[in-house]
Amino acid sequence: MAATKQVLTPAHTPKALGPYSVAVLAGDFLFASGQLGIDPESSKLVSGGIEAETRQVLTNVKNTLAGAGLDLSNVVKTTVFLRDMADFAQMNGIYAEFFTSEFPARSTVQVAALPLGAALEIEVIALANQA
């Protein structure tokens, strides 16, 4: 049986900043593009530093998942891109408010720069079919 691919444009998530999809459902997995701390209403980066951005990023991730009928418990892998690894503890504290048990696998890397001067970006892979 051939796997299916469906491009998703979930409500209450920021629009893509370029030629990519916010999320793609492929077979049993949802691949979500990296989310920035953009407020979907204003299309601007939230103010308040790493904690405010992390909270908005993970809210955007939740809304992306909800658009496919999923939630954070479906996430199997996250990748966190930080502009400054010195922000790790603050990001991790907010991250732990969203992921509270059966934690997904995670990689965290420091990058030279992110779109819009963001402090972080998080992408996720989620299991869409937990049979």
Query: What token pair was written down for 23?
Result: 């999320």
Q: How high is the pLDDT of residue 38?
A: 95
Alpha carbon separation from 66 to 8, 71, 74, 77, 79 (Å, rounded): 11, 6, 11, 17, 19
Q: How high is the pLDDT of residue 70?
A: 96
Of 131, 104, 124, 128, residue with least CA distance to 28: 128
Ordered structural domains, the chain, with CATH: 5-127 (3.30.1330.40)
**What are the pLDDT digits (tens) for 6-30?**
888 777 788 777 788 899 999 999 9
Residue 89 has pLDDT above 60, yes or no: yes
User: Crossing angle for the helix pair 88-98 and 49-66, nearest 10 degrees?
Assistant: 30
Query: What token pair was written down for 84?
Result: 């400054």
Task: Please state the pTM of the whole predicted model.
Answer: 0.92
**What are the pLDDT digits (tens) for 36-48?**
999 999 999 999 9
∠ CA 125-2-69, nearest 5°, is 40
- Average pLDDT score over residue span 95-106: 97
Antiparallel, parallel or unpaired: β 105-110 and 75-82: parallel
- Average pLDDT score over residue span 102-115: 97
Of 38, 58, 52, residue with least CA distance to 104: 58
Tell me the CB-side half-sphere exposure of residue 1, using CA atoms within 13 A. Answer: 5
- Average pLDDT score over residue span 92-117: 97
